Amino acid sequence: MRGGAVPVYKGAPEVLQHVPLRSVILADDFADAAALGAHLNALVADEAAYRRHFEWDLQEFAARPTVAQCPWQCRVCEMLLARREGRREPTPATAPRKS
């Protein structure tokens, strides 16, 4: 995602509990591969529609219980939110855990 790619995901729908909304394209949202391909081609032709996949509500994402319980690797979006807001200090979700 950092490189400007939007992942196409095929698998358990619970993935949406672990990623920001619109950050992935769910293959199962489409009737078949042709419909998915048509959607991807439409994104190639419509830059604004493509960019919407990067307009994440990081505050909503960071507040999710699944994110708060996640290991440090899952906290990248909280760090991005802190950077976007100009914060450098850790928030409750990014603070190191006491073992």
What is the chain's pLDDT, residue by residue, as a tens digit (99 residues)?
Answer: 446 788 899 988 888 887 888 888 999 999 999 999 999 999 999 999 998 888 887 778 777 787 777 765 556 666 777 777 887 665 555 455 554
Q: Which helix (H) or strand (E) holds 61?
A: helix 58-62
Residue spans of the domains in the chain: they are: 1-56, 57-99
Structure tokens at 6: 């939007």
For every residue of 49-95, DSSP letters joined together read HHHGGG---HHHHHTSHHHHTS-GGGGHHHHHHHHHTT--SPPTTTS
Q: The pTM is what?
A: 0.62
CA atoms within 13 A on the CB side of 54: 12
